[in-house]
């Protein structure tokens, strides 16, 4: 194959994907990973790589993620490719041109984030772990706009993450729950997402997670990382509630503003009351580790 022949590369990738089977999955993933790295690092092939990436490789990944045939194998392959690409985009010395980086990020969160959030975050390991890594990384990389927030609000991401935690409550110290907590903490940096989380039952999820950590105390780095993430999530949640309460008090004091705020604040305080009681034990637990 002539590496400079764009159509040949595209045809080769398509034939590789179409012949993919479970027995060849590891080999194909390894090949794709090495090929991506070679393309990205070869600056003289950068324009060729960019063209293939946007016109062929990403559309192929999209097809793999929505395929009804060999769902697990195709999904795993596509997620490996996407996460490999995100690894490059994270680098401060990313060799892709700025405009190409922008186009890729747009495509990743507008096209792939909804698909992965609704379809693949609920699958078995390791697909779910790769999905969590993708969601967390792309959320860190993108500039948050009303569009990105709308994508999250219209997707099933938050409810799916909460359902995963509930389904794995007997594995609260496992790698899957750790990944979900880390992803939730990253998403919670935007107050709009905190609001969505609260509407989907964030308080009950935090109560379960915190109680699980108090019951399964282990003095190791993993435990500390989980606790730090939980404390960050708790802090952002309570900060959101405090802001609503302050605004509600201002409405009562001045008689101007959103007249619904006082009742909203009262409901939030009532819902969060059990959670506040666990703040002290959580802090004491952190001090012991």
Span 32-51, average pLDDT: 60
Tokens found for residue 1: 């194959």
Q: pLDDT tens-digit profile of 116-140?
A: 999 999 888 889 999 999 999 999 9
- pLDDT of residue 222 exceeding 60: yes
At 144 the pLDDT is 85
Confidence of residue 1 (pLDDT cuts 50, 70, 90): very low
Q: Give the Cα-Cα-Cα angle 33, 36, 41 (nearest 5 degrees).
A: 125
251 in Cβ contact with 262 (< 8 Å)? yes
Tokens found for residue 161: 């993450």
> Rounded distance, CA 87 to CA 83, Å?
6
- pLDDT of residue 58 exceeding 50: yes
Percent of the chain having pLDDT more than 90? 40
At 29 the pLDDT is 58
From 138, 99, 98, select the one nearest 115 (Cα to Cα). 138
Q: pLDDT tens-digit profile of 74-96?
A: 888 889 889 988 988 898 888 78
pTM: 0.81
- pLDDT of residue 59 exceeding 70: yes
At 283 the pLDDT is 73
At 2 the pLDDT is 40
- pLDDT of residue 172 exceeding 70: no
pLDDT averaged over every residue in the chain: 81
């Amino acid at each position: 194959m002539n590496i400079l022949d764009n159509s040949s590369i595209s045809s080769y990738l398509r034939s590789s994907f179409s012949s993919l089977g479970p027995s060849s999955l590891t080999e194909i993933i390894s090949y794709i990973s090495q090929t991506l790295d070679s393309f990205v690092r070869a600056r003289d092939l950068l324009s060729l790589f960019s063209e293939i990436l946007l016109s062929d490789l990403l559309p192929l990944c999209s097809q793999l993620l929505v395929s009804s045939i060999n769902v697990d194998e195709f999904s795993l392959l596509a997620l490996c490719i996407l996460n490999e690409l995100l690894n490059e985009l994270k680098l401060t010395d990313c060799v892709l041109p700025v405009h190409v980086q922008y186009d890729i990020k747009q495509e990743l969160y507008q096209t792939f984030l909804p698909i992965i959030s609704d379809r693949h975050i609920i699958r078995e390991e390791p697909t779910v772990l790769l999905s969590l890594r993708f969601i967390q990384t792309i959320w860190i990389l993108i500039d948050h706009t009303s569009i990105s927030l709308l994508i999250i609000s219209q997707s099933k991401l938050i409810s799916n993450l909460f359902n995963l935690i509930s389904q794995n409550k007997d594995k609260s110290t496992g790698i899957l729950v750790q990944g979900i907590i880390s992803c939730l903490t990253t998403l919670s940096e935007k107050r709009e997402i905190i609001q969505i989380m609260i509407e989907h039952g964030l308080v009950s999820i935090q109560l379960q997670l915190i109680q699980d950590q108090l019951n399964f105390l282990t003095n190791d780095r993993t435990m500390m990382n989980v606790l730090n993430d939980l404390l960050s999530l708790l802090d952002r949640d309570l900060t959101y509630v405090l802001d609503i309460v302050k605004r509600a008090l201002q409405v009562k004091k001045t008689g101007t503003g959103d007249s619904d705020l006082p009742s909203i604040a009262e409901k939030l305080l009532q819902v969060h009351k059990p959670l506040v009681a666990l703040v002290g034990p959580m802090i004491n637990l952190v001090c012991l580790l």
